[in-house]
Amino acid sequence: MKILHLINYAGKGGTEKYIYSLIENMQEKDAQIFLSYNIYGPLVDNVAKLGVKTFQIKMSNPFDLMAAWQLTKLCKDLSIDMIHTHYLRENYIALLSKFLNPKIKVLYTNHIINKDTKKIVLFNRFFTKGQDKIIAISNKAKEILIENGHDKNKIEIVYHGVKLNKCELTKKDSTHTFTLFCGSRFTREKGHIFLIQSIYELKKKTNIIFKCILANDGPMLEECKKLVKSLSLEDTITFIGFVDDINSVYRKIDIYINPSKEEALGLANLEVLALGIPLIATDVGGVRDIINSTTNCGVLVQYGDVEQMAQAIIKVMNDDVLRNTLSNNALDTIKTTFSLESMLEKTNIIYKGMI
């Protein structure tokens, strides 16, 4: 089967990691895969190294008829069986191209949990008639998709999956500096302001030596740096920019913090759990699919509750038994529910069922 992944910006976020995992593990073995994009980014070069052909199609808006026509021509030239889309713009364009090429199948993976406007909900109700299948990456994502007008009978939940990659946790002594880490891109919904305010509160509540490292880039970066300076946290919080080999950083940390305001699931959550690293995350979106009373693989806090976040960090830092329990349960959770093998198998079944 021939599959074309379609994405607007071929960047370096969780969606791009998801696409890369599918391409890397399915290319040639189960399918011949291609990538089409609008805005050039690192994903283009990364998949090209796998021998995947890439094509640029300008997509100015979700109703870009020229883009739909170019997509139709590309699919016919390559004998594509299915277009796998990843955001609303690309999905609409793929469905418009289906009017010109009815044989093509369109699969949409929804990576966000935003509630659409009434106008978009109406468009969703129209376009979902031509949609062949939709992948939701969490129960909350499915719930929002249905609220947004998509056909519930076409939605299947397929969790993101990662490779198990256990690392040894650092042994603590009286001189150890606890390292907290957040690697989210600096956007409003990722909650960095909340995290910085929580670190300020944490410093007032504990004598434990700790530091907090913030990686990545984004539009909120400068605002966060200014806040750190205004709170005199320069000696506690360090900004290290975008990191290519994020696993090399993960292996040096003690606790991962995900302070997001919105999160469909959180690929970074899974990446650190696969290493056995204790996780503290906000109880938003689909995160409860990962951290709950059954898995007991992390600590949930309410978004915006600075006091609760600070207390949660203190609790995990102080309790060696708790950290080891969270670490062991993290590995079990990945193995049983969020393994890469499971994601690939379920996605492949959907592919073959559609074609």
Instruction: Output the CA–CA distances (angstroms, integers) from residue 336 to 164, 203, 226, 331, in the order listed.
Output: 11, 37, 42, 9
Q: What is the DSSP letter of 52?
A: -
Q: Give residue 10's pLDDT.
A: 96
* Domains recognised in the chain with CATH numbers: 2-161+339-354 (3.40.50.2000), 178-336 (3.40.50.2000)
Q: Give residue 165's pLDDT.
A: 80
Distance, in Å, from the CA atom of 154 to the CA atom of 151, rounded to the nearest integer, reads 6
Distance, in Å, from the CA atom of 162 to the CA atom of 311, rounded to the nearest integer, reads 30
Work out the burial of residue 282: count CB atoms within 10 Å of its CB; fewer than 13 is exposed, 13-18 middle, 19 or more buried: buried
257, 249, 297: which is closest to 273 by C-alpha?
A: 297
Distance, in Å, from the CA atom of 143 to the CA atom of 123, rounded to the nearest integer, reads 18
Q: Give residue 25's pLDDT.
A: 92
Only one residue has tokens 């207390």, namely 311
Q: Give residue 277's pLDDT.
A: 94
| pTM summary value | 0.91
Q: Give residue 246's pLDDT.
A: 87
* Residue 314, phi then psi, degrees to nearest 5: -60, -45
Instruction: Identify whether the C-beta of residue 162 lies closer than 8 Å to the C-beta of residue 334.
Output: yes
Only one residue has tokens 């390559």, namely 78
Residues in the chain where the model's pLDDT stays below 70: 28-29, 167-174
As beta bridge partners, residue 39 has 9
Only one residue has tokens 């609409």, namely 92
